Amino acid sequence: MTFNARGAFAIFKNELMRMFRTAFGSIASPVITTSLYLVVFGAAIGSRMELPGGTDYASFIVPGLLMLTLLTESTSNASFGIYMPKFTGAIYELLSAPVGVAETLIGFVGAAAVKSLILAVVILGTAALIVDYQLQHPVYAFFYILLVAATFSLLGFIIGLWADGFEKLQIVPLLIIMPLTFLGGTFYSLDMLGEPWRSVAMINPVVYLVNGLRWTFLGQSDFPIAISLAATLGFLLVCVAIIAWIFKTGWRLRE
């Protein structure tokens, strides 16, 4: 079966247009929430915080807050995008259409990742009005944000296939990803933690994601960037393998 570029683009365009039809919930709401975090924690509390190396606290939390938004929004967008065809029954039309796994993933996951990239640009632009931050490695930042957005869009795709109700769509983003991100160094450096809490924090996989993005902003982090890249790529491969198994077996697709 040859690659159906037209089918992939049709799915991609439809999913991307859905974001603009719900612009307030898709873009405005996350941007407003992130801005409030920056104002409250960066301006009000940041002046009382002392970080290793004398880094400005408001600039320090920008990568963490951006990662928080990326993880939750990428997962939510992709899960909702594939769940709605299941909910309405349109999934059967998709399964009978001349599109394969690659076209489906490019359509749904690609659109969710692009939404996250657009959201990241808007958040960084808004943050520049509040915080004087700098990107030390802008090229690395772009590709790292793209990698994280694609990885967690794949996770969201899996969640959307697994969920059999709207409640389950929010379980992972709200009850797992968000708490792990808050506990993953979003608002503090691991150097500020004593034992055993530092060792406990290192078990949290989101710590490596946050520190990877923080390195692209500040040029410093608690871990080498190679560890963050390896962790993200490893999780991406696991998600791809799970999706390949789902399409091969039909699990949750034909129920």
- The rounded distance, in Å, linking the Cα atoms of 79 and 112 is 9
Indicate whether 159 belongs to any domain.
yes
Q: Alpha carbon 44 to chain centroid distance?
A: 27
Indicate whether 217 belongs to any domain.
yes
Residues (pLDDT < 70) of the chain are 1, 43, 47-48, 50, 52-54, 254-255
- The rounded distance, in Å, linking the Cα atoms of 241 and 245 is 6
Q: Is 49 helix (H, G, I), strand (E, B) or coil?
A: coil
Q: How much is the pLDDT for 72?
A: 92
Indicate whether 255 belongs to any domain.
no
Q: How much is the pLDDT for 159?
A: 95
- The rounded distance, in Å, linking the Cα atoms of 247 and 218 is 41
Domain span including residue 130:
5-249
Number of Cβ within 10 Å of residue 173's Cβ equals 21
Q: Which residue has the tokens 């929004």?
A: 73
The 3-class SS string of 29-48 reads HHHHHHHHHHHHHHHHHHHH
> Where does residue 200 rank: exposed (0-12), middle (13-18), buried (19+ CB within 10 A)?
exposed
- Distance from the first to the final alpha carbon of the chain: 25
Give whole-number Cα distances, 253 to 160, 240, 241, in Å.
Answer: 10, 16, 16
Indicate whether 220 belongs to any domain.
yes
Q: How much is the pLDDT for 255?
A: 59
The per-residue pLDDT for range 219-250, each reduced to its tens digit, is: 888 888 888 899 899 999 999 999 999 988 88
Q: In the chain, count of helices (H) and strands (E)?
A: 13, 0
Compute the chain's Rg from CA coordinates: 19
Total tally of structural domains belonging to the chain: 1
Indicate whether 130 belongs to any domain.
yes
Indicate whether 254 belongs to any domain.
no
Q: How much is the pLDDT for 249?
A: 87
Q: Alpha carbon 35 to chain centroid distance?
A: 18
Indicate whether 15 belongs to any domain.
yes
Q: How much is the pLDDT for 53?
A: 65
Indicate whether 204 belongs to any domain.
yes
Residue 221 — left, alpha, or beta (φ > 0 → left; ψ -120 to 50 → alpha)?
Answer: beta
Q: How much is the pLDDT for 254?
A: 65
> Where does residue 87 rank: exposed (0-12), middle (13-18), buried (19+ CB within 10 A)?
middle
For 226, the token pair is 């190679």
Q: Which residue has the tokens 């859905």?
A: 18
**132 phi, psi to nearest 5 deg:** -90, 80
